[in-house]
Structure 1
């Protein structure tokens, strides 16, 4: 039995539109978009700071 739900991540060199096309091509329909910041630890003036470097975008999709 195939999965009814699956999570798809927007890859590093991929646009959101390309990810949505990939989801549709695999027979799924996106139902939820999630965004999560990715931080990097940097030492600035002797202080450890967490700096956002990019946004991780994922889609929860269900089978059509």
Structure 2
């Protein structure tokens, strides 16, 4: 069974991987999604990357 684990704001990648391991999951995929801020300047909308969200997908170890 697959489960997604998101790296929380006050958590390191290592902390997230430990949490996965404690729940009995191993990493099969890492995804990064950008987070944008919308700014309008002179009627034109710009999207500026301000952060990213890191998500690990894991499967239950047997």
TM-score, length-scaled by structure 1: 0.87
* Pairwise CA RMSD: 1.0
Query: Secondary structure of the residue that 2:17 maps to in structure 1?
Result: helix
Aligned partners of 1:8, 1:28: CA distance in 2, in Å?
10
TM norm structure 2: 0.90
Aligned positions of 1:29-44 closer than 5 A: 29-44=26-41
Matched pairs, number: 61
- State the 1:45 CA deviation: 4.3
- In structure 2, runs of 5+ residues without a counterpart are none
Relative to structure 2, which stretch is displaced further, 40-49 or 23-32? 40-49
